[in-house]
Every structure is written in C-alpha cells, then in structure tokens.
C-alpha cells in the first residue's frame, strides 16, 4: 500500500473502485462513497432499469438520480498524490501490462509486475519490492557517515581559508598605515617612491587574497555539491513510498558516487605575507643615495616561485584535450582525448593539414595566448617521451627540424631519453639533473611574463623564456611502441 508523505493518505484510498485508478473528476454520492464521474455515469447507464440509480459500493438505491457535484477536496488530494516527490503515481504501473508494480528483478535491476514473470524476466532473481526497498535504504544509510565526514573536512578548509584571508588583509593594512607615517619625512621625491611601494604592497596583498578567494570558491563549490547530495540523500531516506524510492534510487547512488570520489583541495603552503622588507627599505631612504632609491622602488610582485603545485592547480589548472587531427598515424588517441599511445601499426587517421606526417607528435586542441595556464602529464606508462609546448604556427609536414618539438624557435620541450632528462629548444639540448624518476610532470605557461616552467615532484626543473603572446599549444611526443602519455585531469 503506497503512502503519500505530501497528502498523509494511502494512494489506494484515492482509487475509484470501478476503474481501480486514481479518481478523475471525483464526485461523492449521498451515501458518502466517491467515484470518477465518468465511471458512475457508465455504471448507471449499464443498468437494465435506467430509472434506478445505486451505489456500486454499498448498493444503496436512489429512486431519483442524484445531482453529483465535483468533490473539490478529494480532487486536490489526488493531484498532490500524483506529485509525491516528483514521481507520478500513475507511472507506478507496469508500462507493458498496466498492472501494479510489486516486484524487483535483481538481474536487470528493474521494477516489474506479476505478469512480467512470464516474459523477459523468466528465471531471473525476483524479490518483492518491500525487501529490496529495505536493502537499498541500508546502502544509502551506510553512505551517511562518509558524506558527513567529507562535508566537515570541506567546512574546515573553508574556515581556514577565511581566516588566512583576514590575516592577509590585516597584515597589508597595518603595513600601509605604518608606511604612511614615515612618508612625512621623505619630501617630494620620497613621496613618489612611497606611492610606488604602496601599490606594490597592495598588489601583493590582492594577488594573495585572489589566490585564497579562488581556493575558497572551489571549496564552496564542492561544499554546495555535498549539501545538495546530502539533501537528496535525506529526502530518499525519508521517502516511505517503496516504488517511488526505488525509482529514484539510482539517481541518488550516482550523485553519491560523484561526490564520494572528490579530491580534497590541498591547501597552499603559504603564510601571511611579510612586508617588513618594504618597511625597512623605506626607513633607510633618508640615508641612501638616489641610485639606490631607484633600485628599490621597483614594485615587488607575488612570485610564481612562492606557489606550490597545489596552488597552481587550484588557480591556473587546465586539462588539455588532444587534437586527433594533429596526431601522427602511429599515435592513437584515447576516447576521452587525454591519452596518446604509440602503436606498431598505422591508425586510420584521415588526411588533415594539421597532422604530423613524420615526427611522432600530437598537439592539444586548446591554445593559449594570454594569462597563466598550468597542466600536468602522467608518464608512468612511458620510458621515452617529449613533452612541452609549441606555437600553433609550427610546421607539421616533413622531417625537417621546423616540425620537431624542441628543434626550432617555435617549440619548447622537456625530454626523457635513455633514462636521462633534457631540455630542448631551437635545436639546443641541455642535460638536466632530475632527482628520482618522477611519474608526473607539471608545466606552467605565463604568457605575459614570457615564461614556460617545468616541474617534477614539486621542484622547478627548468624555466624557458620566450614570446608566448602568439597562440601556444601543449604538445606530446611518444617514442617507443606501446608507451602512453596522459594529460592529467583536475
């Protein structure tokens, strides 16, 4: 018997005993029994004695045909019941046989009626919906502690970020105030210097707050997802309607799985910004000569070296997708466009002007010409590779150096070959000292600063410098048969 949380009545009580369906335009007879208007009229028309009207339920006879008015209250209850929560009660019947759903097929994970036992569910493991209802509710209930723990962790991270934002804001404000006091002793020239240094402090402060704010936004986004999933989970656990619960069960499980694999945001190992350098420099202005003043007036910016890879992922993280139209015929691209695999035989790639036809290379679909962009590459499945970036204008056809990653002015490459690491640019190769054997490498492209930084195991391995204001694409080269290199997802 289905029970509606919204109406507080059993759905069976809202069914016409003539058609066994939910009331359609219900009317109530003088005896108190209700029926669909069409059903009662058809019942009376079928009587041999057309002048006699009776109640199909209690059989009370009405010598004169009653004037039946629509039962508005009952009609509203029916409409509310049809909406329990978001599921139409009329849909709880078998779509094939029109019978009430009473069984659940474990083999097909589908709801069914008794007549379905002789059809496609024959010889399947079938149980009453009440049994699987309790079983699935137990599965959802077991997810509650895990979800709660994850939510608490995110709330703790958000609190920590808020606290650090306030500390950064207070630190910056106090430093600016102290600088203003010293300003009075520095005359016109020093007055200009102070303005420049204040803008530097404020810029650092704003960049730091921007960094923290972006981390807060990511945590809030995850937290909102957990709140929504928690609400959905609680609603499902409170749903006493067996079939309704089972129809929504898969969606709830999918939502739980999508949040249960969340990756905890690693907090950037940053501290409150130290502005003591600016204050000391300012205090020494009176005693220093003009040349030294010009040197220290340069604004101090938040350096990329101050950020760890966790912060770079949070602020500038990208997940490039490989461009199948650029892949060499011996490079196979995965279905999700993240992995490049070297194959022994040619893949059926159509002819394309962007395709490399000699060098074993593939580019990303994305290109960057402004801002900062950070991505990582998983190399665990490859022993020899080249990873880097190139201008979109780099050549694609032929075996010339103008088409090979790292061998021309338009490309920059970090390479592993015969267990040694190199940097390559403009036909120059430099041996690198790389501790250990990293499985994952990071790359930061700063277009405005003209820097392309390579990371390995959280260490800066090398910084390329060049003009990155023209469109730049991440690039991959895989040398050995069967090896794979993959863009990491954030």
250 found inside a domain: yes
Helix segments in 284-413, DSSP class H: 290-296, 309-316
* Co-location of 323 and 294 in the same domain: no
412 found inside a domain: yes
Of the residues 274, 302, 330, which one is the last residue of a structural domain?
302
126 found inside a domain: no
Q: Who contacts 438 (Cβ-Cβ below 8 Å, separation ≥6)?
A: 379, 456, 457
* Co-location of 48 and 143 in the same domain: no
pLDDT tens over the chain, length 490 residues: 444 434 445 556 788 888 888 888 999 999 989 999 999 988 888 876 656 788 988 888 888 888 888 898 888 888 877 765 544 544 578 888 888 888 999 988 899 888 888 888 888 999 998 898 889 989 888 988 988 888 998 899 899 889 988 888 888 888 888 888 876 766 667 677 777 878 888 888 888 888 888 888 888 888 888 888 888 888 888 877 777 778 778 887 887 777 665 555 555 555 566 667 767 766 665 565 555 555 655 544 445 555 678 889 888 999 999 999 999 999 999 999 999 999 999 998 899 999 999 999 999 999 999 999 999 999 999 999 999 999 999 999 999 999 999 999 999 999 999 999 999 999 999 999 998 899 999 999 999 999 999 999 888 999 999 989 899 999 999 999 999 999 999 8
Residue 238 in tokens: 């409170």
* Co-location of 297 and 334 in the same domain: no
114 found inside a domain: no
Each residue's pLDDT tens digit, 65-80: 888 888 988 888 888 7
* Co-location of 266 and 397 in the same domain: no
480 found inside a domain: yes
Element (H, E) at 153: helix 129-183
DSSP E strands in 367-419: the ranges are 372-378, 385-391, 411-417
Each residue's pLDDT tens digit, 332-390: 999 999 999 999 999 988 999 999 999 999 999 999 999 999 999 999 999 999 999 99
* Co-location of 58 and 143 in the same domain: no
Q: What is the pLDDT of residue 325?
A: 96
Of the residues 270, 302, 334, which one is the last residue of a structural domain?
302
Nearest residue to 356 via CA among 333, 330, 328, 329: 328
Maximum C-alpha span of the chain: 121
* Co-location of 195 and 267 in the same domain: yes
Q: What is the pLDDT of residue 354?
A: 96
* Co-location of 297 and 220 in the same domain: yes
Helix segments in 67-128, DSSP class H: 72-82
* Co-location of 173 and 207 in the same domain: yes
DSSP 427-469: TEEEEE---S--SEEEEEEETTTTEEEEEETTEEEEEEE----
Q: What is the pLDDT of residue 291?
A: 59
* Co-location of 64 and 140 in the same domain: no
* Co-location of 328 and 259 in the same domain: no
State the Cα–Cα distance between residues 51 and 347, nearest whole angstrom.
Answer: 84
* Co-location of 145 and 269 in the same domain: yes
Q: Who contacts 182 (Cβ-Cβ below 8 Å, separation ≥6)?
A: 194, 279, 282, 283
235 found inside a domain: yes
Name the residue with tokens 């097929």. Answer: 105
pTM, to two decimals: 0.47
Residue 49 lies in domain: 11-92
107 found inside a domain: no
Q: What is the pLDDT of residue 104?
A: 92
Instruction: Say if residues 33 and 58 touch (Cβ distance below 8 Å).
Output: yes
State the Cα–Cα distance between residues 179 and 419, nearest whole angstrom.
Answer: 54
157 found inside a domain: yes
| CATH number of the CATH domain containing 465 | 2.60.120.920
Nearest residue to 415 via CA among 392, 435, 438, 387: 387
* Co-location of 372 and 438 in the same domain: yes
| CATH number of the CATH domain containing 31 | 3.30.40.10
Of the residues 242, 272, 302, which one is the last residue of a structural domain?
302
Q: What is the pLDDT of residue 299?
A: 47
Q: How many domains does the chain have?
A: 3
């Amino acid at each position: 018997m289905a029970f509606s949380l919204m109406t507080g009545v059993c759905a069976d009580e809202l069914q016409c005993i003539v058609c066994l369906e939910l009331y359609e335009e219900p009317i109530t007879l003088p005896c108190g029994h209700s029926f669909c208007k069409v059903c009662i009229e058809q019942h009376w028309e079928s009587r041999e004695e057309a002048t006699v009207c009776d109640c199909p339920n209690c059989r009370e006879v009405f010598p004169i045909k009653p004037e039946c008015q629509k039962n508005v209250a009952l009609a509203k209850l029916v409409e509310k019941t049809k909406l329990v929560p978001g599921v139409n009660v009329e849909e709880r019947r078998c779509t094939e046989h029109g019978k009430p759903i009473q069984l659940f097929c474990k083999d097909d994970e589908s709801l069914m009626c008794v007549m379905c036992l002789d059809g496609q569910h024959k010889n399947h493991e079938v149980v009453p919906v009440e049994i699987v209802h309790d079983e699935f509710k137990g599965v959802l209930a077991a997810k509650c502690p895990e979800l709660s723990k994850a939510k608490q962790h995110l709330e703790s991270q958000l609190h920590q970020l808020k606290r650090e934002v306030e500390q950064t804001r207070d630190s910056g404000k106090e430093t600016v105030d102290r600088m203003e006091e010293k300003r009075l002793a520095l005359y016109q020239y020093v007055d200009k210097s102070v303005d420049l240094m204040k803008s530097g402090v404020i810029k650092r402060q704003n960049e730091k707050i921007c960094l923290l704010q972006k981390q807060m936004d990511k945590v809030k986004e995850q937290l909102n997802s957990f709140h929504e999933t928690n609400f959905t989970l609680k609603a499902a656990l409170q749903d006493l309607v067996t079939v309704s619960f089972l129809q929504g069960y898969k969606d709830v499980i999918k939502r739980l799985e999508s949040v249960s694999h969340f990756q905890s945001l690693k907090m950037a190992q940053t501290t409150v910004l130290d502005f003591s350098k600016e204050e000391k420099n300012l205090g020494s202005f009176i005693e220093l000569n003009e040349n030294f003043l010009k040197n220290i007036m340069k604004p101090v910016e938040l350096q990329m070296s101050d950020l760890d890879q966790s912060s770079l992922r949070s602020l500038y993280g990208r997940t490039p997708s490989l461009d199948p139209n650029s892949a060499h015929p011996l490079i196979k691209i995965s279905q999700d466009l993240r992995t490049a695999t070297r194959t022994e035989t040619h893949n059926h790639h159509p002819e394309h002007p962007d395709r490399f036809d000699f060098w074993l290379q593939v580019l990303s679909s994305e290109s960057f010409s402004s801002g900062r962009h950070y991505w990582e590459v998983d190399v665990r499945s490859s022993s020899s590779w080249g990873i880097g970036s190139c201008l979109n204008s780099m050549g694609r056809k032929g075996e010339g150096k103008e088409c090979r990653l790292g061998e021309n002015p338009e490309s920059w490459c970090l390479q592993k070959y015969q267990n040694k690491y190199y940097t390559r640019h403009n036909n120059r190769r430099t041996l690198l000292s790389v501790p250990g054997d990293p499985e994952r490498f990071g790359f930061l492209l700063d277009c405005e600063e003209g820097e392309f930084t390579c990371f390995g195991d959280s260490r800066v391995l090398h910084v390329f410098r060049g003009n990155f204001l023209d469109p730049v694409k991440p690039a991959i080269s895989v040398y050995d048969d069967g090896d794979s290199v993959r863009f990491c997802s954030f």
